[in-house]
Homo-oligomer: A and B are copies of this chain.
Amino acid sequence: MSSLPAIATFQPLYQQIKALITEALRAGEWRPGQAIPSEVELAARFGVSQGTVRKAVDALAAEHLLLRRQGKGTYVASHHEAPAAFRFLRIVADDGTPIEMDSTVLACRRLRAPGEVARALEQRTGEQAVQVQRRLSIGGRPLVFEELWLPGSRFRGLSAERLADYKGPMYALFEAEFDTRMIRASERLRSVAAEGAAASALGVARGTPLLLVDRRSYTYQDRPVEVRRGWYLTRGHHYADELS
């Protein structure tokens, strides 16, 4: 006879299993790119049937936390693999050409987080944060200017050099070096006139229309870990979105 759960905490078994697996992922029990135990093993570990584990894993795969590979096993999703990388890169050439952008790091400073940033990151006001500014170009032509803020505690040791030396998506670096995997993000898009740092970094006249993208990114269990603002030059490229 096991103890009963407290009122209002009833939830289906498979959701409890899902939460346990998510917690193991957050704790780093299995690394991105690695296989997690088989369904049979997980069923034994949690004391439920394979069907229940399957339903939990299905849900996590639908959220892109896990990746199922028939005959091989179930893997922890990673930003080192193409499918994950493109989910967070929505800018696309008008003719469908795959894009390959070069990153130039313009700044990487440790500062006290401004109030708005601290709130978004759920930090105490004035706590340390890392500010990064960079430009993304394609064949020498500037396309994006970005400024992002990260919680200082999570990103100790992040520097302009490490950002510049790293080949591949920034989120892959965060995952590999700072144990921080971006799971989802919410964005707000606006059209604005170029000015200030964005205009000069992109080399366009003030007043040029730019797509302004404000992003908040979250890691496991919906913890916010990045605030990002990007200015996109949408000449020959566009932001792609699927509504369904």
Which residues of A approach B to under 8 Å, CB–CB?
Answer: 62-64, 87-88, 90, 94, 183-193, 207, 209-212, 214-215, 232, 234, 238-244
Q: Which B residues are in CB contact (< 8 Å) with A63?
A: 244
**Assuming the A-B contacts A243-B185, A244-B184, are A238 and B88 also in contact, with contact meaning beta carbons closer than 8 angstroms in the complex?**
no
A87's partner among B88, B94, B232, B244 (CB-CB below 8 A) is B244
Residues of B within 8 A of A234 (CB): 189-192
SS class, residues of chain A in contact with chain B: strand
**Given A209-B192, A211-B211, is A187 in contact with B244 using a C-beta cutoff of 8 Å?**
no
Q: CB < 8 Å: which of B90, B192, B212, B214 contacts A243?
A: B90
Q: A209-B193, A209-B210 are in contact. Are A188 and B243 (CB under 8 A)?
A: no
Cβ distance A189 to chain B, nearest Cβ, rounded Å: 4
Q: Which residues of B contact A214 (CB under 8 A)?
A: 238
A243-B184, A244-B184 given as contacts; is B87 within 8 A of A238 (CB)?
A: no
Closest B residue to A189 by CB, please name it. Answer: B239
Chain B residues near A210 (CB, 8 Å)? Answer: 191, 209
Give Cα A64–Cα B209 distance, bound, in whole angstroms: 35
Please state if B191 and A192 are interface contacts (CB–CB under 8 Å).
yes
CA distance A240 to B242 in the complex (A): 12
Q: What B residues does A244 contact at CB under 8 A? A: 63-64, 87, 183-185
What is the CA–CA distance of A95 and B241 in the complex, to the nearest angstrom? 23
Assuming A184-B243, A244-B183, is B207 touching A189 (CB within 8 A)? no
**Given A187-B243, A191-B191, A191-B232; 12 other pairs, CB 8 A cutoff:** A64-B244, A87-B243, A88-B243, A90-B243, A184-B242, A186-B240, A186-B241, A189-B189, A189-B240, A190-B211, A191-B211, A193-B209
CA distance A86 to B203 in the complex (A): 38
Assess the A189–B87 pair: CB atoms within 8 A.
no
